[in-house]
Structure 1
Amino acid sequence: RALAALPYEGFIVDGELVVPDEAGRPSFQRLQNRAKVSRALDVRRGAVESPAVLYVFDVLAFGGYDLRPLPLERRKPLLEQIVPRVGPIKYLSHFEKDGEALYEQVVKLGLEGVVAKKADSPYRAGRSPNWLKIRADRTDDFVVVGFTRPKGSRSGFGALDLGAYENGKLVYAGRVGSGFTAAQLKEVSAVLERGVRPAPAFSGPVPQDPGHTWVEPALVVEVRYKEWTDEGLLRQPVFVRFRDDKPVTEIAKKGEGRGERDVEVPPESTSPISPLPREVKFSNLEKVFWPDEGYTKGDLIEYYRAVSQWMLPYLADRPLVLTRFPDGITGKSFFQKDAPEYAQAFVRTVTIWSEDSQRELDYFVCDDQSSLLYIANMAAILLHVWSSRVATLEAPDWCILDLDPKEAPFTDVVTVAKRVRALCDDIGLPTGIKTSGSTGLHVLIPLGRQVTYEQSRTLGGLLARVIAAELPEIATVTRQVQKRDGKVYLDYVQNGHGRLLVAPFSARPLPGAPVSMPLAWSEVTPKLDIRKFTIVNAPARMKKLKDDPLRAVLEGKPDLVSALEKLHARLG
């Protein structure tokens, strides 16, 4: 109603609806309570008892004009003029310097964080490198008072029940189930089982849902969270580390954390237990995986051992998906995203929500040679990786153009690949290339984790369309195979959250045991035989080359803004 009452037509503002607490800080709990009511009387009562405020911080359109292309420093003064001085709509002011001092004050006030925006940036929907959100989540130490059993493929425990001391009494504070490594799930589970007790050690209300196992209050954990709910429970808790340096009696329920920045904690620094042995026990090494050549499972493992120094940079800190062939390439195979319960604890896993499966999946993350060999021993011939790292899951390292020939001659694939490179050179984008290990080529463009997956797909789509327009006789962006007319398909759709790339150096389940091989651009000629790179000769090739010609894709950070401007100019 307040927005409708403004004396303007045709305007769009950006803001956030909040319900403040007594101290004036946004309370997600109170906002949820307001959102749950539907009866007119309850809505009116809520408006009086917990009034909502719309804080507006940007204007996208006004008076029929699209203001999004204007720099932020020009949009903000206009926004300030159109927002009333009183009422439930408030202009959110900004600071142009002393950002670190502002952040420190935000932490002290218990607010969620700050957003830093470039003053000359236009408005862009979604995430942008010009707008950075710096969170100030709270952290506190809690006593472990119980645990729940794991579900599905998860091992160890499901979640830890937490408690804190309040006025000398231990009270229930909620549970935390995310943030643990696979090693911690298994190691700590054994410790918890030794401390089981029949009844909870805390006073006050006890969770009514089934499945809790209570333990002696001996372990202390640090947990990051948003806020306390009205029920005295943590909202959005995430495990940070075990505090074996702090006695249980020091823990107190404060509701005010230390406001540490949201920093990824390396798994190595969070485990209270000594490192696990990493010796891999191999099995069935003589089983033949490639019948025509007689290559065995042992040959596959030795191949991955031989190329591990070049392959691991593409696997480390990246969700990994396996295709397993227990009986070799002529037997049945299966695709595996979710790490099995029996997986060795030294192999890192990361829990990620899957939209396809509508549940959390524990992806393998292959950070070292032992993990790679363990996965190879699982008969995983084909390895796929995400384009992003666990620490920056929504910011890919590269943009992919998968050149898929299907019925097109390989000479056309080479022509298209070289044209992609020439276009990228013209607009200032570096490129790398590798064989798919099957019939096509993969062109990779480094992004330096500067953009989102959506933006990466947009870039790939623009490049693909330009090439298809310049080479209409041999290139297409049409996905349906029957409509390609024997042309090379420029597949840019693989740029997306959860989309996969055949990992560089991955073996392929095809006759001859070919691998996905990084190439120098000088090797990309009509005479190139992409199936000549196999598990037999690939290690010797890399030793001869010494340097991986694709490695720069992991380290490049091009000027994407300049490149896009040149690309748009080319499109007219």
Structure 2
Amino acid sequence: MFVVQEHHASHLHYDFRLEWQGVLKSWAVPKGPSLDPHLKRLAVQVEDHPLEYGTFEGVIPEKQYGAGPVYIWDTGTWIPKAPVAAGFKKGHLEFELKGKRLKGTWDLIRTRMQGRQVQWLLVKREDRFARAGYEAPLIGDKSTVRRRVHTRTSFSFVQPMLALLVAEPPRGPQWWHEVKWDGYRIQAHLQGAKVKLYTRAGHEWSGKMETVVQSLATLNVQSAVLDGEVVVLDRQGRSHFQKLQNYFDSDPDQELTYVAFDLLMLNGEDLRDQSLKERRRKLQGILKGKHKNLRLSQQLKLNAASWKKLRRQGLEGVISKKLDSTYISGRKGEWVKSKFLNRQEFVIGGYVPGRGSRSDFGALLLGVYEKGQFRFVGKVGTGFSQNSITSIKKQLDRIKVAKKPFSAGDPPKSGAVWVRPELLAEVSFASWTHGMHLRAPVFVQLRKDKPAPEVTSDALLLTNPDKVLFAAEGITKLEVAEYYIAMVERMRPYFENRLLALVRCPDGSAGKCFFQKHLNAKADTIAVFEKDDALYVKDARGLLELVQMGAYEIHSRNSRAEAPGKPDQFVLDLDPGPGVAWGEVVSAALLIKKDLELLGLRSFVKLSGGKGLHIHVPFRPGPSWEEVKRFTHSLALNWEHRFPDRFVSKMAKKIRVGRIFIDYLRNSKGSTSVLPYSLRARDRSSVALPVAWTQLKKYKSGDAVTLKRALQILKKGRDPWANYFARAPVLPVQKARSAS
């Protein structure tokens, strides 16, 4: 077990305790555990406590050591990630916590600053449970403790949870639907009578919306953090962004409404690890009754008829959220948005001068930020009123520059007037072209609620999110997209700018599938590219576009897009023939690992998602494709010669009975192997899962891990292939070439 006790002694602190060898190893943590990996908490080691103390909650009487209230702040189980005895000796404990508040992987690190008591640092590792700015909330319930809660607890701005764009709302009882409000996303922080309002970018706007501040201050809470949207509503309850913009520009008599849709913190308790359903229940509780300028976003009952009705009402779209979703910053797929029109913000980088009666400007030149580059995406010349033209031109004149601000794309080569990329234009458009330009754009309005560098293309439209791709498990296209969003950081070293090939199954894994290396000229993609007779993607958006294409089994070559002729890894596929037990495949892989180590090569193993195992070996680029193929062929021949009853190096099926085929043929220029963490297009959603060599024996087959189990494994923290390409050795063929 582990337990954290909130201890109100002469000085408030948190007692962090781990059960080990019949006692509770204990540390006093003055500021409490933090889920922020950047906050290292001092943990002073104190005397061991008996196990019975792990359930104590009450008041230690005065004049006794540690006198004061004790509350169980969190408890659960801890799982060592490395030998504990050695960790105490070395001064570094690595473990996973499974509690209500504390989850994921942690480190306790002994410092060199030693006095009467040994000092350690308690540090959260980066994983899905990490929370930026997290401060341990107080839970004591005495009035004196309550006062201390609200003078001490500070809940900093939380990066908002965002929604993935889909073509239509997903169906099913697990989804909650609500209106997509057309206003400013605002995070409201309440602390006693004080209220602060933060924009999506974290800017403090309390002074700009005093009526909202006054209304929020009337809520019967001691502290809270709400997520919502500030809007201006018409008599039918529809939000109008232009009227909201008018409030800030010229018409302060417009009535603002804060539409709340989530609750992140209440009375010192962090609610982000609770389900949306539970957060909504508590939000509804604090918004009971009538509150001027405040409204609770209501649930929509969606079906085909109501979807059409909403479209006719002129709403922007619908937000759909999983009822069991926790609040996680960023775009993770557990919230999705479906719009009636494609509409988003773009940064103005210049304009084309007008002609004739429209002399101010003819069209605005628009861009978005992609990986630090300001990319031109098209121009918009319609949708302006004469008043908006005059107003925009005045603002453009103040920010003129001589140098073109665009660093990518294809802006006009002559006649353009450039401006600093500061102003944001909201534009509706039909779709994106393959070359990442806007089709049929129409200007809607200027916006001010986010900084220009945060404007990226909102281009991925996931169609048919409810389509079942793995019928045996009922796994949908949206769930596959969510899987790749969750896995993207683990996968990045193996897909980012690497040459790919795809297995596409437009009708699901049970339908017709085909292999594809080239980009279809009609494919409406933005972030999938082609080079050297292969595809590649640069980022998470590209990965999701593959899912949209029905290409959720992804293969890669052993070279990168910028250097297609320079392999930097080889792969050996251990493919068991008929009659070979799984244990024999594992033993063979371990034998190969030892032989590779004798050659100075580090190897990594993954379940293939099929029958066998794949062994990956990274190396320093240098050898040619032909040299790598000859080298891996010689390895296969060596094992076949030494162990003729176990291995075969030829593909012919008739000689593979009872033996393991060492497939080295994946190491020629045009060949590929399945990408680490890729799903396989099979009856079940098996995953090509990287595993630690020390954990290999616990798996029962090469397709033992499905999508859902892989997500559970991801939650446990440590990456078994961490630093895959770091310290890549020289391949022996390079050494031989240098010697000759």
Taking structure 2 as the reference length, the TM-score comes to 0.38
Which structure's residues are more often helix, by fraction? Answer: 1
Higher relative contact order (CA 8 A, sep 6+): 1
Larger Rg: 2
